[in-house]
Chains A and B, each alone.
Chain A
Amino acid sequence: MSCLRVTNIKEAEQRIPSSVFPISGLRRDTSGDLTNDAITIIIDGLKSRGIDPTNTETKQKLIADLKTLLCSVNNQYQYLLQELFTLLDNNKPVSDEMIDIIKDKNIFMQDILNVSRHISELQVFDKSKTFIEGWQNTVTVSGSTKNDLVNQLIRQLNMLEDRSYSELQKQRVDVTGQQNTVASNYLGLYGFLNIMAVGLLIYIAASPKL
């Protein structure tokens, strides 16, 4: 299973099948997160199909599958947001159905993050160190944690519910600004590396014998 590339609205709207999330209508708390018993139902469902998340190898495979699923749903979500902004740019009405689909994708991503966190925190049978994803509960390069991701999704969900699109667009400005910062950092790094390479070339060319 590889990360889905979304090129049209049909692909963006389709429900991606997942062996981890076979059922819908799971219970949620007031903040919209899956309740503990809902997560237990998902884990029990996996076990009943012979997928034991407490096994180290199975656990790693599950986490990898969930990461791919998250990537695919995120691509769909971003595509749908782009479509939404295109409608707004052209001053066209936005249907409730479209907003519902985007909200569904948002909630699905939150579910994936919550379940993957739960699975990664499960103790494995051999009592060795639990497998922890690189982005989980650790500070990443940009200083964000997985909880930040969930919180960001919740904020976006609230914005969608309130139909405050301008806030969503402000976030897009921030994201593109951060992309620029990353690109600038790479440019600085490669500028330095090029200077070093020129120095090395001159040094080698000038030395009489190596």
Chain B
Amino acid sequence: MTTSNEKYRIDLTNRQIEINEWSYNNKMDTLFVFQLLFISLLFASILIALNKQGIVGTPFVWYSVIVVVLIDVIIIINRSIYTNNWRDQRFWNKRQFSDDNKLASPVSQANYVNVLQQAGGSKSSCNCN
């Protein structure tokens, strides 16, 4: 067992580790987006260069760029919404559910007994407690 002083230090260190890990994962997520943008920009550059040389047509370039931009936007918005709304603020890999511990059982214990009785059982045969 640890003393309260040591416990305080351990708690403080653990919190710092949590903060560092969350921050690290957040940076890695941003890095993923940066890599995505980098690849998309290079892809668009190559297509435009090919278009300038007359190898591919302008409509193809536009459609391709629009598709890539759409994919990028969807990924970025999806990740942003997930991080802002669902991601746990302490543990990066943990998801929060808005109804956690709030959603009651569809059948309460009293109703459960009634349902059993209506079905032909009795309270004594129900190991409710």
* Partner-B contacts on A (CB < 8 A): 85, 88-89, 91, 93, 165-166, 169-170, 172-173, 176-177, 179-180, 183-184, 186-187, 190-191, 193-194, 197-198, 200-201, 204-205, 207, 209-210
Contact = CB atoms under 8 A, between A and B. Distances in A.
Contacts of A198: 41
Interface residues of B, number: 31
Contact of B24 (A88, A180, A200): A180
Contacts of B48: 201, 204-205
Contacts of A194: 34, 37-38, 41
B16 A173 contact: yes
A209 B41 CA distance: 19
Contacts of A183: 24, 27-28, 31
Contact of A89 (B14, B21, B28, B30): B14
Interface stretch (B1-9, B72-80, B111-119): B1-9
Main secondary structure, interface of A, reads helix
Interface string B31-61: 1001101100110110011001100000000
B2 A179 contact: no
A190 B53 contact: no
A179 B28 CA distance: 10
B20 interface: yes
B10 A179 contact: no
Given A173-B17, A197-B38, A201-B45, 14 more contacts: A88-B2, A88-B10, A89-B10, A89-B14, A91-B7, A93-B1, A166-B13, A179-B20, A190-B34, A190-B35, A191-B34, A197-B42, A201-B41, A204-B45
B72 to A, nearest CB: 12
A172 B17 contact: yes
A179 B92 CA distance: 15
A179 B24 contact: yes
B109 interface: no
Contact of A176 (B9, B11, B24): B24
Given A91-B1, A166-B10, A209 B52 contact: yes
B96 interface: no
B42 A166 contact: no
Nearest to A190: B34
Given A91-B2, A170-B13, A176 B52 contact: no
A205 B50 CA distance: 11
A209 B52 CA distance: 6
Given A194-B37, A209-B52, A180 B27 contact: yes
B122 interface: no
Given A91-B1, A187-B27, A201-B48, A173 B34 contact: no
